[in-house]
Structures are given as C-alpha cells and as structure tokens.
Structure 1
C-alpha cells in the first residue's frame, strides 16, 4: 500500500488561508455575505443570519431566493453593477424593524486573472448615527420655528400697543377713559412679554418645538389671541363666535396659542371689502384627533392656490400686509406633533381652516 502524497508548500498555504477565512467568517460580529459572479451565495457570517434568515442550506442558492428583512429592492442590480465595474458601492439602508445600516458591496477580484468573481457585502450598524442626525434636524427645525414665530407673532401685540398709545396721546376725555386705555395697554404688554418668554424658552436638551405638552384650555387661548388683536377687531367690527365641544387638549401651549392667533389674525386680515368679518371658532372630537376649525366670511381663496398658501413666503394679496410665514408656521407646528391641516374655501364667500390636533401623552 503506497504512502499518501505529501502536500506541497503552496497547498499548505492555501489550506491555512482557507482555515483563517473560515475562522474569520465564524467569529466576526459584522454581518457579511460572499456572493459569486452568478449571484450564488457561497459563504456568510453568523450575524448575517439576523438579516437574511440564513442557515447552512442557503449556501449554493441564488441571492434572490433568500428571505430578507432589508428594505432594498435594487440589491441585485447593485451587485451586478459592482461586478461589472469592479468598484465599491456604499448605501444607507433600513431593515423592516427600522434599524439603519451602511451597506458596502465590495468586488471580489481574482488578481491573476484581473476580473471580479463576485462580491462581499458588509453591513455596518449606523442606527445611532442616524438617530443623532435626526435629532439635530429636529433641533434645527426648532430654532427655525422660534425665529419665524417671534418675528411673526409679536407683531400683533406691538401693533395693538402702538394704537393704544396713539389713542392715549389723542384723547382729551375723562380720567376713567384714560385709565381704561392704560389698563388695556398693560394687558397687551403682559401678553407680549408672555409670548416672547414662551417662544424663547429653549433649553439645551430641546429637540422638538412642541417639547413640553401640558393641559391647555382653548377658551383661554382664544381670549389671549383676541386681546392681542383688540385693535384690529375694533377697527373692522369683527364678530368672533366660539362653539367649544372640546375645551382642553394636552399639547404645547405655545404652539396652540400661535396656531389660534395666526388663524384668527388671517380671518380678520383677509376680510371681504363689503362686510364686517364674522368668524366662528369651533372644537370637537374627530376620531383620534381634536378638530379645531376657524371659519370666516372673507375673500376666500381660489382653488388653485389652496395648497400654496402653506408654503413659505406665499402671499395671495399684495394689498394686505404680511410676511407670508403665518400659515407656514401653523402647518409645521401641526404636523410636527402628528396632526394635519386642511382648508376649504369659496372665492368671494369665505374660508374654513380645519386643524386636526393630536394630543400628546
């Protein structure tokens, strides 16, 4: 019986290299797949089982036949792209459980033949990184909202105070009238100070403009808005009627106050030239939402512009002063807390804004 042939040095090196690769693939904590040029799975690391539901029976099967919880419909095309170009490809992907990974598809090149014979697909957990970026985006939106709101919301109280001061200067009436004007001026000043304090109350830990939800009363906030708009209500003869079936909601007070103020201000601002504003503010339950409606008998909005009014700096009337930020602010505040806003309007007859507010826990 003959002696078995001795292994050559190159064969030993190949066996050692294969053992090292097997050891690496068995012990690495990184999910990896090795797919050949025919898109057949040749090897995988144990962590890859989490994403592809793999077992040893998956070896030798086409990559398209494997179950996967990765939201990445173009993976086949991208593997072919890397094999064809021999260039790395990197993409951020999300699994069905909403975890984020950086997926690298690397060409497996046979150096002697200078060709790509497959790819190695590596998944790197970047969920923490994505969450941090999302928090920074929220924080950026917070500061944008603050800037827009401060620049927009304090104009009403300031205008009101200016008018009251003008009346004080012009009045020659009794001391009782003077005291009444001074009292209104004092209330307007308090309202202005409270508005600025609320809008600028930002701490280092804030990542959302609607950071602090609290139980707020719609009636109280409507009174605040009417006080800030006293001068405009008086000049236009506006009548404001309220029907509040839902009296309270658990949300950021500053946001709800700003929403009501902006919608009431617009209802007065865009009044019809031939009639005094008649405004109705209602609240009611609408499924999982609290529906706040503000309707008027004003100029109305033409159908083609009813979506554009929520865009930044959109102004429908050049003869009406404004920045075009009010409804942009309102929409952002509503949507940032899971709500939605709709508008119904008939040109020449009036408009109704329906704000679906989502109460917070």
Structure 2
C-alpha cells in the first residue's frame, strides 16, 4: 500500500508506561506456533493467534520469494475464502516496501505505522479494504484507525534481512494500538519470524528427502507394474497352442511394455531435476514456436495413427517467460490427448488467448481433445505423480506431473475443464496460463 507524502507528520501511538501485557497468553500459544511443521500451517497459526490475541479483525502475512525478490501474501485472516484466494496472488515489490519503511513511519524497531491520504490510494489495493466509501473520509481523532491505515511488523532472518511481515489491516475496535500492545505484538512477531524460518528450513529438508526417495518410489510403484505386464505377455507368447501371429502379437506387447520402463525412468529423472533445480536461464519464449515443435514431435511418434493437430495461432506472436523446458509442457499434454482418444481419427485443437487475474496478464494456451474425458472428482488429481488417466496399462501420471512442475516454476497456472461443459465424456480442454512478457 502507498506510503505517506513527504512533509506529513510522523505517525504517533499512545504512550503507556506499563510493561508489555499478554505475557501469559503469549507463552501459552508460542509453544504451538514454534512447533516445526510445514510453512503454510505455521503461517495460518500465526495469523489466527495474532488476530485472537490482539483483537485484530483483518491481517495478512507476506513472505519473501527468494527467487523473484518480491513479497507474496501467504496467509490471511478476516477475509472470506474467495477474497482470501485473490489476496494470496498479491505481490509487494522491494521498491514499494522501501516507501513503507521510511524512518518517518517507524514507531519502534521493526514496526511501521503507515497512514496515507486518500490521494495516495492505489486502485490495485482496494481488495484489502472493507469500506471503500470510507477511503475519502477525512481523518478526525488521531486515535481512530482510518480505512487506509495499516501497520507492518517485520520478520528478519539471522543475517538481519527482512524476509516477511505481518500487516494489520484493521483492529476490531478501529482504534490505534497503545504502546504496550505494539511492544507485545513486536515481540510476538520476532518469535514468529524464527518459527517461519525454521518452517522454511524444515520444508526444504522434507522436499529434499522426498526428491531423493522419488526414484525408488517409482521403481516400487510403476516399474513393478510394467515388469508384471512384460512377464505376462512373455508367458502368453510361450503358451502351448499359440499360432505364430498370436505369439508375435504378445512379443510386441512385451517389447512395448519394456520400452515404457525406459521412458518412465527418463520422465522420473526429468521431473526430479526440475524439482531440484527449478527453472533456470529464464527469458522470453515464443509460444507459437514452442507449440509447433511440440506438435511435430507428437505427430512423429504417432505416425502409425490418423492424428491431426490444429494449431490456431492467428498469425500472431505470443511471448511468455520460460526456458527450454516449455516444450515439455505441451508435448506431454498433446501426447495424452492422442493416447486417450478412442476414435480412429484423432483431432486435437490448440489455441491461444489472453487471460487476466487481477492485474496480472497471461497467455492462455488451450488444448482441446475428443478423448475419454476426466470426471470432476479426478480433475484436481490428474497432475499428481501417481494419478494416471484411466484406460490402458497402469499410468504413472508423470507426464502431467512434469507439466505441473514446469508451469509452477514459471509462476503460471494449469487446469483441466470439460470440452462440453457438464459432460466430461465428450473430451477435455487443458489450459496453461503463462505470464506475458516482451520479446526482449
């Protein structure tokens, strides 16, 4: 949110000679907040604890994204679910943060009380407020909390770098906090910052352990299934009474299953690498060229079938942020579209359009197929590692796991819808939204 204009008086808080209150209550909840668990759980506990302990109606918690060097809203309190979901897409730049951390707004160490005027209201911030008509309301009693007011409590890491903050949007009584309350909130915020850093380290260790265990999980899960298929087909090929044609058919199926093991290992290694290294060497990519390359690759692999991929690109150029992994996204989606279409002649339609989420602009690639479709109960599951689509041999789902991993590394979105709304049996539309960028 915008800062104060230069020349305005530094915000003040009521002085209180008494020591910080809430000590007993804080001690009773800190053991719970300081427990080591995943980051989102810790943030949720901190948000609800601050709200209940200090009578806060609404607040947000933002954490530094170390890759993009922006602060992202990770937890909210006091907002209905749909609005909270929108707020969690909000980012706060380092430049904007510096405006809020001006010495004029500092009320004590790591605490900043920003009281902007109506002329400083930023349209994109209106999602944080509850009473938009009060934004232009003149300030009266300095102890009253104005609609535009907010107070930041900073978290700092072991090196003293700001890595997050609690931002109080509105107290329950709409009055400014007294000094004793702010001191107590400051102490709690410092301890909460330690809990957040511990949770981040814990989460990193868990993810590393999961990645190191990943290939062995694949071996135990899918490779065993394919080996059973190979063994079964070989047994049928060797069975007494088989003619040469049947024997040849079973041997071909055994060979196909064996090659599937090799492809599975390659995909597992690729996914592990993406999750380990993230998206490196990011820059502008032209989605039309990426789609052409992906379509050509899938058509080569499907040369024995009647497959047509219609690229409806409109003669335009579509630049998004990505790297050489982008082709993996659309190659895997197109492979699924072909593989799970039971028709003799397979037709897949691809198009690109604009997509907006609040102030963010994306190119949205839509891949529409005429396949077996995906029931609503499974739409959110198909991007998991071991949630393959129905039909055929046991599927690992790794192709769509790779799609999700790359898209998330690009800060994009991926989801699936019914091609005919309300009737999943008519096929699916996979949509991939990637942030727009310029060509240079």
The two structures have a TM-score, normalised by structure 2, of 0.41
Larger radius of gyration: 1
Higher relative contact order (CA 8 A, sep 6+): 2
The two structures have a TM-score, normalised by structure 1, of 0.49
